[in-house]
Amino acid sequence: MESQKSAAAGFWVAASFGAGQDVGRSCILVSIGGKNIMLDCGMHMGYNDDRRFPDFSYITQNGRLTEFLDCVIISHFHLDHCGALPYMSEMVGYDGPIYMTHPTKAICPILLEDFRKITVDKKGETNFFTSQMIKDCMKKVVPLNLHQTVQVDEELEIKAYYAGHVLGAAMVQIKVGSESVVYTGDYNMTPDRHLGAAWIDKCRPDLLISESTYATTIRDSKRCRERDFLKKVHETVERGGKVLIPVFALGRAQELCILLETFWERMNLKAPIYFSTGLTEKANHYYKLFITWTNQKIRKTFVQRNMFEFKHIKAFDRSYADNPGPMVVFATPGMLHAGQSLLIFKKWAGNEKNMVIMPGYCVQGTVGHKILNGQKKLEMEGRATLDVKLQVEYMSFSAHADAKGIMQLIRMAEPRNMLLVHGEAKKMEFLKDKIEQEFSISCYMPANGETTSIVTNPSVPVDISLNLLKREMALGGPLPDAKRPRTMHGTLIMKDNSLRLVSPEQALKELGLSEHQLRFTCRVQLHDPHSDNDTLGRIYTHLKSVLKTYSIQHVPDGTVIVESIVIKVTSSAEEPNLKVILLSWSYQDEELGSFLSTLLKKGLPS
Amino acid sequence: EAIPQTRRADGPITHWQCSQRRNRQIRYKDLHVFQLEHPTKVIEWTGDKNICVAGYTGSRSEILELLLPLKLYAGENQGLCAERDFKVQHGGFSEEPIESLIHISGTRCVVTSGSSSSTLQIWDIGGDDSDVIKRTGVINLKSTSVKGCKIAPGLTDEPAVLHGSCISEVQLTEIATGRVLYTVAKESSDSVSGLQFVNACVFLICASDGTLFMGDTRDPSTCHYPLEDSKSGLHWAFGLRSDSSQSEPSGCTVARLSSSGHMLLSDLRNLQSPFCQTQLNVQHDASKNDFLNVSWAPVLDRCLSVSGFDGTVHIYNTINWSTEGQSPQPVFSHRGHEMSDEAKYSGSPPVVTTHSWHQSRPKTILSVATDGSLHVWDWVDKITDR
């Protein structure tokens, strides 16, 4: 890795060192055009020890990463994509830019802090990042807008595209010169109520890196999942029970509210629905953030409603939790690890008529995680145990791309190569075949820690000077054809990121150099009993018979000229039969000159 | 105030479900709706929790082995089970649209027939080490049939397949060797609508005109039982109900269904005279003959299902059927395929291409339609499941 930070035009390397299975972590390293980029920096939620962090020794054995990375890009706020970010930037050490969208920048620190609290306070771990580290890390963040090209440095540029999946999730295009790669992060191709589908233009990247965790699933329809959700809620309130839905502030919560509101209206239900106030404030803030971040296309699909325009949904007061009778409550935080939702849970857990619906994944150590694993007795503060008698339901609404979605994305972007992360290679051969056959591109599926090299065929644009062009034209021959290579001579000037092909004379002039002519001279001794002139004549005849295609002249002033090579014959008065043949040639005719001197050393035919 | 959304909460299914709820009628115990990338006209069980489907609409078709959503099997812990999706476990490519697909019990072998080649294709679905379904061989046929050759698995220990597109071409071929084990010695050019083994030796063939042929691989002759009054222009399909895969004829009933909804039930001991005839209340459309399907429920007594006329699957209880009675009412009708979004926006409503009962769960059915929809549903009998 360290040695690869030099220019490597034409091919580059992607190293994936973190992709697991269902609950994996994403952390991908790409080396392109001499630049090194880290894509996502996730935490593996399944491990409790150092295995949960990505192994940064792949980059360098000794500490700080700043000089080895040109930038870090985070696709969205899920912990398996950003959970190790403060560890990487503050504990391992990285001071360069970290790019992410505005909503991701706003939401990341909250989730990271929550996560830190659970890990350190609840599980008592010590080798973990602190609150201050999270703050310091976020100071390095440079926010991205959709479809806006950002120059990381003179050669590296990045652009964010809408990914769907969750609020603020982006797919990123990374471009260095004429080579580019697109990383999808997590995305989905079917629109949600509050999120649109992922979209990208026909940017034809050299490589498209896509997650493939759900590539082998056929997902049941959203309507079905919603119907199931409504059925469960309805059944519970019908029997007089209470439903608790722990949520994170914005996104899914609003969608579920709309769903319930419509259902309540249709079915003429009377049980109250509450939304906790802490949620509302945050929700309105994110709402504004979201609206300014998305483009027109997304705004149309997003339901433009204020939280409190619901007829059936009211603000929650903590005293309501003790009210008799059925009700539905949305409360934070989402994993039941603290706050409002945990308080309500404690009150309602003992009654089997009640229900808690967990709408997402819960981190190990949280009450949410424990009850989803079927635990019926929970240890609370002060050694008190809580009996979990209420019904526990897990309903995931988060959307990922399935095989059909991946094919759709490939059709949209038209990459030259494909790389799938997150799946098990053995179980992905069918998808690899499918992609390769349908699009005639190569599909790679590296294992955790494996490096993949992609060979690209970059076109190198070179400007050619008019003079040189004219000169070439004057030489004649067939007309230029874009499909046929044509050899030409010129001088390539590489300056300020541009490449120009000019005539040597022009190059010399531009560079302020004077032209030097190189001439070689060589003396060949020969015994010949003729006069100097006759010897020259014999040389002329000999050369004419050997060099049939060259222009040979016998000039009256006593020289033989072969191309630019000049041949003279002299002898001394003392030894008139010992001839000295003087050959002189310019650098351009070096080969021919050498040939002639070797030839004449052999002597003349009699 | 109009809600600007592309997907509405009160979409067809939810609306329909809500209206049922209001009438205090719970129709489904479970309903899962999926969308395949390409529609299939085959559903074949390859295991307790696995099915094979295959494309028929493109020149190149995918064969997929799918694992049913584990949530269906989670029992009491259903609530905690997040797995509600189908998983593609194995996949392969066929060079032709697939008309029929059968699984050879006890093996990982499936055989397909398509609409453009004169061979049957033999495939190995594969195990844990690879997810690619590989073609391992072919069986040469005498001719090509646009409707595809009809095929049925042999029930002997040595894997074999019974196949034919017309009666005179029906033969039993051993898969491993290609050896012809049996040929039907009948000079009939009638096209085959379906065929099936009753036990290791006895088999039934149903011709498109409704004539039944019964044969025994130990006996060169076959008996045939034409319909009493055969109306031309009708296409017939059949469904065999047997107690087990090694039944004696005494335990078997055959249902024959015509494209006009005429239904005949016969006892295998007396195929000459059906013990029940009735007319179902369905619409006849000759263009959909391809998808006509009548199946007996494997667990419920004398319960059969019918599809292929339109986007519905009808379930009937035949216990109270009589020849003189009026058109029987289905105990349940699944209209899900007609109610989908895709159906709403497309020009022609989808037609159910095939359906299949779950082997052990009494009321679970899988159905697929021309729009690629795949439904898994568990229905409630209004009368018996209170």
Torsion-angle region of A28 (φ positive above 0: left; ψ -120 to 50: alpha; else: beta): beta
Closest-CA residue to A348 (of A246, A238, A254) = A246
Q: How far is B373 from chain A (nearest CA, A)?
A: 10
Residues of A in contact with B31 (CB under 8 A): 224, 227
Q: B43: Cβ–Cβ under 8 A, 6 or more apart, which residues?
A: B51, B52, B53, B354, B355, B356, B366, B368
Tell me whether residues A259 and B69 touch, CB distance under 8 A: no
> Looking at chain A, which residue has its C-alpha nearest residue B63?
A430
Dist CA B325 CA A439 (whole Å) = 59
**Which of B5, B33, B93 has its CB closest to that of A224?**
B33
Cα–Cα–Cα angle for B343, B344, B345, rounded to 5 degrees: 95
Read off the pLDDT of each residue in A315-322 and give the average, rounded to a whole number: 89
Residue A152 has pLDDT above 70, yes or no: yes
Tell me chain A's radius of gyration from C-alpha atoms: 37
Q: B205: Cβ–Cβ under 8 A, 6 or more apart, which residues?
A: B164, B167, B170, B184, B192, B194, B195, B212, B213, B214, B215, B222
Mutating which of B33, B71, B339, B373 best tests the A interface, going by the most A Cβ atoms within 10 A? B33
Tell me whether residues A430 and B132 touch, CB distance under 8 A: yes
Dist CA A165 CA A185 (whole Å) = 10
Out of A217-226, A277-286, B261-270, give the one with best mean pLDDT. Answer: B261-270
Q: A558: Cβ–Cβ under 8 A, 6 or more apart, which residues?
A: A532, A533, A536, A568, A569
List B residues 338-377 in contact with A (Cβ-Cβ < 8 A). 374
**Where in the sequence numbering do the catalytic residues of A fall?**
211
- Specify whether the CB–CB gap between A314 and A272 falls below 8 A: yes
List A residues 173-192 in contact with B (Cβ-Cβ < 8 A). 191-192
Q: How far is A252 from chain B (nearest CA, A)?
A: 14
Dist CA B44 CA B35 (whole Å) = 17
Name the residue with higher pLDDT: A276 or B174: B174
Tell me whether residues B93 and A426 touch, CB distance under 8 A: no
For the full predicted model, state whether its pTM sits above 0.90.
no
Q: Does B23 touch chain A (CB under 8 A)?
A: no
The single residue listed with the structure tokens 């498109």 is B208
Q: Would you call A527 exposed, middle or buried from its count of C-beta atoms within 10 A (0-12, 13-18, 19+)? A: exposed
Residues of A in contact with B89 (CB under 8 A): 216, 427
Q: What is the pLDDT of residue A299?
A: 55
Residues of chain B falling short of pLDDT 50: 1-14, 16, 20-24
- Is the confidence metric ipTM above 0.85 for this complex? no
List B residues 75-114 in contact with A (Cβ-Cβ < 8 A). 77, 79-82, 84-93
Nearest 5°: phi and psi at A329?
-130, 130
**Spacing of C-alpha B209 from chain mean position:** 19
Q: How far is B206 from chain A (nearest CA, A)?
A: 35
Residues of A in contact with B13 (CB under 8 A): 223-224, 227
List A residues 417-436 in contact with B (Cβ-Cβ < 8 A). 426-431, 433-434
Mean pLDDT computed over every residue of chain A? 84
Kindly write down the DSSP assignment for every residue of A50-111, as one continuous string: GGGS--GGGT-SSS--GGG-SEEE---S-HHHHTTHHIIIIIII--S-EEEEHHHHHHHHHH
Helix (H) or strand (E) holding A565: strand A565-571
The single residue listed with the structure tokens 């309602």 is A348
Mutating which of A21, A216, A375, A434 best tests the B interface, going by the most B Cβ atoms within 10 A? A216
Tell me the pLDDT tens digit for each residue of A282-314: 666 676 667 666 555 445 544 455 544 678 888
Tell me the pLDDT tens digit for each residue of A428-459: 889 999 999 999 999 998 877 778 888 887 77
List B residues 246-305 in contact with A (Cβ-Cβ < 8 A). none
> Looking at chain A, which residue has its C-alpha nearest residue B85?
A219
**Spacing of C-alpha B254 from chain mean position:** 15
Dist CA A264 CA A243 (whole Å) = 14
Dist CA B37 CA B92 (whole Å) = 14
Count of H helices and E strands in chain A? 16, 31
**Which of B11, B69, B89 has its CB closest to that of A223?**
B11
Q: What is the pLDDT of residue B176?
A: 93
Dist CA B67 CA B89 (whole Å) = 7
Q: What is the pLDDT of residue A11?
A: 38
Residue A249 has pLDDT above 70, yes or no: no
Kindly write down the DSSP assignment for every residue of B62-129, as one continuous string: EEEEEEPPGGGG-GGGGGG----SEEEEEEEEESS-EEEEEE-TTSSEEEEEESS-SEEEEEE---TT
Closest-CA residue to B336 (of B131, B47, B78, B32) = B32
Tell me the pLDDT tens digit for each residue of A155-198: 999 999 999 888 889 999 999 988 999 999 999 898 776 677 89
**Residue A10 — pLDDT band, cuts 50, 70, 90?**
very low
List B residues 120-139 in contact with A (Cβ-Cβ < 8 A). 128-133
List A residues 340-399 in contact with B (Cβ-Cβ < 8 A). 372-374, 391-396
Dist CA A18 CA A22 (whole Å) = 12
**Which of A303, A407, A429 has its CB closest to that of B131?**
A429
- Specify whether the CB–CB gap between A100 and A107 falls below 8 A: no
Q: What is the pLDDT of residue A423?
A: 63
Q: What is the pLDDT of residue A549?
A: 85
For CA atoms B38, B42, B47, B49, give the dihedral sign: positive
Helix (H) or strand (E) holding A159: strand A156-162
Q: How far is A161 from chain B (nearest CA, A)?
A: 21
Least confident of A58-67, A79-88, B50-59, B129-138: A58-67
Q: Does B62 touch chain A (CB under 8 A)?
A: yes
**Which of B36, B79, B86 has its CB closest to that of A394?**
B79
Buried b (16+ CB within 10 A) or exposed e, A241-268: bbbbbbbbbbbbbbbbbbbbbbbbebee
- Specify whether the CB–CB gap between A267 and A231 falls below 8 A: no
Task: Report the percentage of chain A scoring pLDDT > 70.
Answer: 88
Closest-CA residue to A297 (of A397, A200, A400, A166) = A200
Tell me whether residues A303 and B5 touch, CB distance under 8 A: yes
Q: Is A469 helix (H, G, I), strand (E, B) or coil?
A: helix
Buried b (16+ CB within 10 A) or exposed e, B158-173: ebbbbbbbbbebbbbb
Tell me whether residues B69 and A429 touch, CB distance under 8 A: no
Q: How far is CA B225 from CA A586, A590, B150, B229, in A?
A: 104, 100, 19, 12
**Amino acid letter at A78?**
H
The β-bridge partners of A492 are: A501
β-strands A327-331, A273-276 pairing = parallel
Tell me the pLDDT tens digit for each residue of A462-475: 888 888 888 877 77
Closest-CA residue to B246 (of B212, B197, B205) = B197
**Which of A216, A230, A391 has its CB closest to that of B79?**
A391
Closest-CA residue to A229 (of A16, A466, A395) = A395
Tell me whether residues B129 and A227 touch, CB distance under 8 A: no
**Amino acid letter at A462?**
V
**Amino acid letter at B356?**
S
**How many CB atoms neighbour CB A128 within 10 A?**
14
